[in-house]
A and B are shown apart, each in its own frame.
Chain A
Amino acid sequence: MSAELGAWGVPVAVLAGAIRVSTPFIFVSLGECITERSGRVNLGLEGTLVMGAMVGYGCSYLTGSPWVGVLAAGLVGVLLGALHGFLCGRPRVNDIAVGIGLMLFGCGLAFFLGKPLIQPSAPHLPAIPFGFWSQSSQIEDALRVNVLFLLGALLAPAVSFALKRTRWGLIVRTVGESAEAARAMGYDVNRVRTLATMAGGFLAGIGGSFLSLFYPGSWNEGLSSGQGLMAVALVIFARWDPVRCLYASLLFGGASALGPALQAVGVTKGYYLFNAAPYALTLLIMVLSSSATRTSADQPAELTVAR
């Protein structure tokens, strides 16, 4: 790293991190947002994320096109979402517990099938160099924005619009607010929820492909460290609003980048402690945004996670 920016390197690196690290958060939290608006929680998105990373990497390596990888990762997410939806549709099956099961299963399966993918290198996703005007290599690095980030940033208002203004969005919200009302109107609650979980899985899978195809940009077993799970907490923080999910993701990306950024300017003390920053921030935010006596008015009434 060049030292030309001095202490300014920290905010620049945090900004770069916010853009780079937040992308999987954006996709997973948007996906989880759709699922939770339908009244179900999918804690298994951590597993979906890791599976998406593995499949995305594998398909990108085999076909030579990273976009095929992204699509494949999304489709795997759809499959895992369908599995979650199917299992939760059985009577007396707890959606949070199924999520934990899927988390373990997804990670295990990804490590199992992804063993041969640790060695080869797959083509990466392209990035747009918005920093071409700058002399500083750090700023240039920071502004090399990945296409998926832009897609995610556009997707947030799109999902928000879809939930608020379209017929499908209304159906999803109805199912999430009152299953009985939805049933009375003739909608199959289980089917709507399963479809919402599949849509959420699609986005989470894409988020996973970003991990292996852009940043960090390789496939290994330590690729995801709870991003999928933090995204679930983040949706609660964002109070089930897709646009707020985007902001929250950026905040989290910045928090995750704090440790490496400080290390880059020579502050190595407490590097491992800074690794805890995003988790501590999530926890703090959950403490501040929850209440023991009342539930948030924005919370889908059928949801159990934020009791």
Chain B
Amino acid sequence: MTQISPVPTSPAGASGQAPSARPAQGRAARTSLLKKFEPLLISCASICATLLLFGVFLVVDGLNPLDVYEVMFRGAFGTWFSFQNTLQRSAPLMLTALCTALPMQLGLLVIGGEGALVVGGVSAAVVGLSMHDAGSYTMLTAMLLAGAISGGLWIALVGALRAYRGVNETISSLLMSYIAIALMNHLVEGALRDPESLNKPATRHIGDANMLGPIPGLDVHWGLIYGVVACLFGFVLMKRTIFGFAAAMTGGNMRAALLSGLRVRQLMVLTCFLAGAAAGVAGMVEVAAVHGRANASLVAGYGYTGILVAFVARQNPLGVIPVALILGGIGASGGLLQRNFSLPDASVKVLEGILFMVILVSETLYGKLDLWSFARSATARKSAQAGAVA
């Protein structure tokens, strides 16, 4: 969120007292330093609080939380192998997190990343299968475009409904997810079904030679690069361009944005398109790099974990990258927890749920760590009151 430094507007600065200018500057520097690290500090504290709460949960279950966390860490980041697994899982999370984080700049809470992922995955599979002989590069490019455009249109519809009909985007996007999953089942069971997929209906395989390969030197597919590039693009777009400024203005005060002549509706639809495109690419990556075909495996919950990633990253596209790594790591360690402690696979979900709520509550801490500005705003209020009385 764009925050304008409060210093120039403070009444003390406006009165132009020369002697007090210097200490005020020092204070401002300290405040802005704190402001810079505040999100990091609070996020880390929230993660610690989550681990504590989940620890209570584990103790009740008769487990030593420290043992569990140690295994989790090993399962996520401990070895090169497990770290690559984490990277692999974080790629779709980065993309689906953008599906929530980008519209949030405009104040829209879109939670339909799962649906856009499914739509993107199915369209990518359809396009890939229809151009079997075109060579793998052409085919993968076409799949990428298909995934991005179809996913983008899917969420753009949500944005358009919100902009032109006033339909609540949170509910409509989630409903669209269920519709997307039903559509996929319909296609995969019917028109697109590979007759050889018996107990798990799926489309035909796109062919091993056409799969999205690993990044040179790593055992991680190119989807990770897609994710990182998309996050960087989202960051530059939202924090460094006029488009992003217009989005932040709309998110801050929609009436003001409308009054100043911004095309808020177009902004909404376009942002939602980009958001959906990111999630659609996640679906394409899942098809092209992991499964090779579209089937129910696409509905793996990446869309929902992506919402959590976006919130933990405080809707900052750049922050999405490390947070996706952490949550991808938690997801990657789920199997190990199951084997070592016979914890059910839902325990990762419980942990994620606790983290989500702790993060939301931590929102209330912002501004309270900063004692300096707190004291100053109190005096500013007092002097403003005095001014009003005079």
Binding site for B on A (CB under 8 A): 43, 83, 87, 90-94, 96-98, 100-102, 104-109, 111-112, 115, 221, 225-226, 229-230, 232-233, 236, 270-273, 275-276, 279-280, 282-283, 286-287, 290-293, 295, 305-307
Contacts and interface: CB of A to CB of B under 8 A. Distances in A.
B56 interface: no
Contact of A276 (B167, B171, B179): B179
A279 B186 CA distance: 15
Contacts, number: 147
A109 B53 CA distance: 13
A302 B179 CA distance: 30
A92 B362 CA distance: 10
B185 interface: yes
Given A105-B354, A112-B346, A233-B175, A93 B363 contact: yes
List 6 A-B pairs, minimum CB-CB distance, nearest first. Answer: A105-B353, A108-B349, A111-B346, A276-B182, A101-B356, A272-B186
B361 interface: yes
B212 to A, nearest CB: 28
B166 A229 contact: no
B136 interface: no
B260 interface: no
Residue with the highest number of chain A CB atoms closer than 10 Å, among B172, B176, B357, B364: B357
Given A93-B364, A279-B182, A107 B171 contact: no
Interface string B175-218: 11011001101100110000000000000000000000000000
Interface string B324-365: 000000000000000000001011111111101100110110
B175 A115 contact: no
Interface in B275-331: 304, 307-308, 311
Contacts of B51: none
Given A111-B349, A229-B171, A272-B189, A105 B357 contact: yes
A104 B163 contact: no
B174 interface: yes
Nearest to A101: B356
Given A101-B357, A287-B167, A290-B167, A108 B352 contact: yes
A291 B168 CA distance: 10
Given A104-B353, A282-B175, A286-B172, 17 more contacts: A83-B357, A87-B361, A101-B357, A104-B356, A105-B350, A105-B353, A105-B356, A107-B349, A272-B185, A272-B190, A273-B182, A273-B183, A276-B178, A276-B179, A279-B175, A287-B165, A293-B166
A106 B111 CA distance: 17
B347 A112 contact: yes
B186 A273 contact: yes
B164 interface: yes
Contacts of B167: 283, 286-287, 290
Given A92-B366, A100-B356, A283 B172 contact: yes
A144 to B, nearest CB: 28
B50 to A, nearest CB: 11
A286 B182 contact: no
B130 interface: no
B2 interface: no
17 contacts: A87-B361, A96-B109, A97-B360, A100-B307, A101-B353, A101-B356, A105-B353, A112-B349, A229-B175, A272-B185, A282-B175, A283-B167, A286-B172, A290-B167, A292-B164, A305-B168, A307-B168
Contacts of B166: 290-293, 295, 306-307
A307 B106 CA distance: 14
B170 interface: yes
B357 A98 contact: yes
B179 A112 contact: no
Contacts of B270: none
B311 A97 contact: yes
Contacts of A43: 170-171
B346 A115 contact: yes
B349 A104 contact: yes
B36 to A, nearest CB: 20
A81 to B, nearest CB: 14
Nearest to B104: A97
A279 B171 contact: no
Interface string B146-172: 000000000000000101111110111
B364 A92 contact: yes
Nearest to A305: B168
Nearest to B363: A92
Most chain B CB neighbours (cut-off 10 Å) among A107, A229, A272, A286 = A272
Contacts of B353: 101-102, 104-109
Given A282-B175, A305-B170, A287 B161 contact: yes
B163 A292 contact: yes
